[in-house]
Amino acid sequence: MAMRRWKMAYTVIYFIRHLVSLSKKDLDSQTKNLGSPSYVAIDVHDDTSPRENKFVSLIIVDQRTLIDMVKEKSLEILNQLGGVLQVAVILETDIKDGVGEVDVAHRRDVFGENSYKKAPSKRFLSSVLEECKDPTIITLLFCAIMSLGFAIKLHGLRDGWYDGGSIILAAVHLVAVSAISKFMKSNQFEKLSRVRNDIKVQVVRDGRQHQISIFDVVVGDVVYLNKGDQIPADGLLLNDSSLKVDESSMSSEMGHAEVKGRDNPFLLSGSKAAEGNGFMLVTSVGMNTAWGEMMSSRSHDLDEQTPLRSHLDKIISYMRKVGWTVALLVLAVLLMRYFTRNTRDDSGHYEYNGSKTKINDVLDPVVHIIVAAVTIVVVATPEGLSLAVTLTYLYFMKRMMKERVMVRELSACEKMGSATTIIIDKKDILTLNQMEVVEFFIGEDIIKAKPSSGEIESKVLELLQEGFTSILEISGSPTEKAILSWAMSHLGINIGEEKKKVEIKHVENFDPEKNGSGVLLVRRNNEKVVRHRKGDAEVILAMCSNYYVRNGEIRDVNEDARKQLKEIIRSMAVKSLCCMAFACKEVEEGGQASDELEAFGFTLLGLVGLKDPYRIEVRTAVESCKNAGVKVILVTGDDVRTARATAIECGVFSCDQEDVESDAIVEGVQFSNYSREQRMERIGKLLVMGSSSPSDKLEMIRCLKEDGHVVAVTGGGTNDALALKEADIGLSMGIRGTEVAKESSKIVILDDNFISVVTMLSWGRCVYNNIQKFIQFQLTMNVAALVINLISACSSGVLSLSAFQILWEKVIIDTLGLLAVISHDQPSKDLMRKPPVCWSKRPINESIFNNILIQVFYQAVTLSALQFTVGKSILDLAINNTLVFNTSVICQVFNIFTARLPVEKKSMFMWIRKNKRFLAAVLVVTVAQGVIVELSSKVTNSNEKLDRKQWCVSLSIAASSWLFDQLARRLILPKISFLGS
């Protein structure tokens, strides 16, 4: 390393001395060659250290000029530098072989990384300080300070800190839970943002194409861009063909800007390739791009407010209001009882004796009453709900990544479990993406898999070879690769030789409106200009006035011939084959490359039938969706007959349904021509839409949403972007999907497999179900504590549970109970047999509400009876307080089991599953409670321990909550409804 630095230093010194010694003539010559007065590059040859000299030449590149050139789209600067190819020379890039792998690290050091600085994320301390501003926390701390002051003055520090300290710890608990929840959400979204932005791009390095992360792109890289790709950095278009880009992310202007090799070769980072393909030369990356500057200055709101979170915020707000109401009521009752001489001290004397009572003696019980009332607020606040959702989502997203699903927006977690309709496309998610040629026709004659010599006339074979080579090499889609591979092996095409025979003048990229693509070329042997077309068979056939037969004869496409050719196309469609056609025609020599390709006068060369094998598990996945009450609709651009065959093969509907064709199948054009009323009438019956355009698909989504459906849509192409955005859940493809589609979607299916969609569906329901369980558990505990303390305050003038006891119960039950209730259950088969639950509805349904009431009623009655009647008759007061506290906590332990039951289940043993986390959490709660009861007399307000009999009483009362719950579900609830459905 040291030797290398010495060599670098020597080279720099040598370079400077050599520069000074240059004559003005040599300097002018160098400058003229580079075409820029602001840039000078001189080759310094040193046989001992060639690598270091190369690095020096990159170090002196005028980066500012290159950066401004692309940002300002300045042709003047580009011309001064000598054009695109000269910029490649300046950056020492071989436009065919790209840069070398050994140079990447140095280029990153010189020009920077392809990443941008983000606004600093909120720190944990900031979240803590933000939570401390809450009025509830401020009130708790104020009361705690008052309690500490008076209690320590009267009882000393050793015995006077318990109540005030308990409230401080309760406030700390509330702040910590909320702050941790927000901090975890912030980190979660940061990780999600990193994954979302980690786009894969194709670069040429050392003469080979590599797929790398967008963060690994360096200045000088040659990047291959295809339709739908994101521009990874600022750069210049290398090839002469045009490329249309969507720059709406960089400016407010809508529409597509055309990038041309000479007139406008500038490509901006963050833009999307809307049409065409080509190679770009990277000139600046990261913070040196306009995209980097914009993203670094943008404030990112990572706290996504999902529908479920909105519902939970309302629940928390409502419970706080209830808590403050009950607290004020308790405060009023206790103060009235105190000042009306209805309370006595431990010696049996009245605590208040009017004017005889000293002020200090009055303030102490009054502060104690205020502390007791404020403690009610702590009881009522269900702060664990927010943490429960955060932990659930964290686990859910990690689990989904293992299942090859990337969640880009958290609202999709909730909505996916509520989906009622899934719109799928064959090419996106049902097939293996392994196209193969099954049938090939020339005219009305089918050609064998391996035609014998002379079976196809040489002139026809030459035209096919010419067309296949010139058109199919353009985009390299699976369809085109399959045809080209078949042509090479069966028709003897030599790509290298065929490319030498022609000169391509103009390329017409695939147009979804015309459903085809084309090329204009010149034959080098006779200078004839020829147009070739490829695309949907029926579209190409409509453009043809003649067709070849295999013996080389040209025949007119008369009415009979057209009927016969259409029958061949129809027969392929019935077999679920994708039928494509090839055609050509000679044009006048003076035809301009930019002219639109005429849609008539072509000669049909051949018909190709392709098939992409379906995934084995597709039928099972579709059946699972049907069983879950989710409707599956096939929407495809294929012919309606092909679409029907595909739907039958995949199980979307059965072929023995008599009215299936009239009610369930429609063509895209036909659906778009319907009136509004006709669409809404038909939308509930549709299962297949064939020959559809992106606008047809978009209209179907809107109609389904208007009809009350929660719609999920799969898509991978650039044209699917609007549909993915319009749907409630957009599902893009990770392998075949374009970056435009991924950016428009909420979920990315990384393996392009429909079974992953079903997995996402089941996990979405599981997440919602787990959160419902914790809501039931949390609210049962909070409401029960409120009712019990209210009854206790009104009847005896004291609270059943002290501040310290309430804090202990909330910490141990909220934290460990949370882990036990939402202990990451796996999706059950029962969940996939139920109809979807709408995500926009409140999570507390009638069943959950009734279960909460059952448990609250049982705990309030039994604990009140234990405290005021049964307990006092069989136990002394000290033991009774301990028993009430212990029984209350054990009741919450059994409440964990009740909450984990599916809310509709009536058997209390149906919940049992092998879940180590659940069992561990329950065990820790039980052991911790036993330890605190047996060892801490201050917590239990008693110097006595519970014996076995008293422990059995606690366990029996708590366990009986199960029996009461089952009896209420079976006998009471079927007759009485507490909440309308």
Q: Which residues are catalytic?
A: 425
Q: Kindly provide the b/e burial profile for residues 19-50, where b requires at least 16 CB atoms within 10 angstroms of the residue's own CB.
A: eeeeeeeeeeebeeebbbeebebeebeeeebe
C-alpha 696: how far from its chain's center? 25
- C-alpha–C-alpha distance, residues 524 and 381, integer Å: 83
Spatial contact of 272 and 249, defined as CB atoms under 8 Å apart: yes
- Judged by DSSP in three states, 270 sits in coil
Provide DSSP, 501-557: HEEEEEEEEEETTTTEEEEEEEETTT--EEEEEEEEHHHHHHHEEEEE-TTS-EEE-
Q: What are the structure tokens assigned to 115, written together?
A: 């990443």
Tokens of 728: 């409630």
Nearest Cα to Cα of residue 785 among 169, 132, 330, 142 = 330
Q: Which residues pair with 256 in a beta bridge?
A: 246
Work out the number of other CB atoms within 10 angstroms of the CB of residue 151: 22
Q: Which residue has the tokens 């606040």?
A: 381
Q: Long-range CB contacts (< 8 A, 24+ apart) of 731-736?
A: 731/429, 731/757, 731/760, 733/428, 733/429, 734/404, 734/406, 735/433, 736/427, 736/428, 736/433, 736/478
Cα–Cα distance between 447 and 550 in angstroms, integer?
9
- The answer to whether 832 and 627 are in contact (CB under 8 A) is yes
Closest to 355 (Cα-Cα) out of 336, 370, 339: 339
Q: CA torsion, points 156, 158, 162, 166, in degrees to nearest 10? A: 110
> DSSP alpha helices (H): ranges in 657-753?
660-663, 668-673, 676-682, 694-706, 721-726, 739-744
Q: Are 551 and 617 in contact (CB under 8 A)?
A: no
Name 138's Cβ contacts closer than 8 Å, sequence gap at least 6: 132
Go through the chain and tell me how many residues it has. 981
Rounded CA gap, 794 and 789, in Å? 8
Q: 3-state DSSP call for residue 689? A: strand
Q: Which of 518, 653, 666, 638 is nearest to 569 (CA)?
A: 638
The amino acid sitting at 317 is S
Report the relative pairing of strands 405-407 and 243-246 from DSSP bridges: unpaired
Q: Bin 83: left if φ > 0, else alpha if -120 < ψ < 50, else beta.
A: left
Surface-to-core class of residue 262, CB atoms within 10 Å of its CB (0-12 exposed, 13-18 middle, 19+ buried): exposed
Q: How far apart are CA 416 and CA 747, in angstroms?
A: 10
> How far apart are the C-alpha atoms of 532 and 581, rounded to whole Å?
11
Beta bridge partners of 279: 224
- Count other C-beta atoms under 10 Å from residue 187's C-beta: 15
d(Cα 524, Cα 529) in Å, to the nearest integer?
10
From residue 788, how far is each of 240, 333, 795 by CA, in Å? 80, 15, 11
Sign of CA dihedral 300, 306, 310, 312: negative
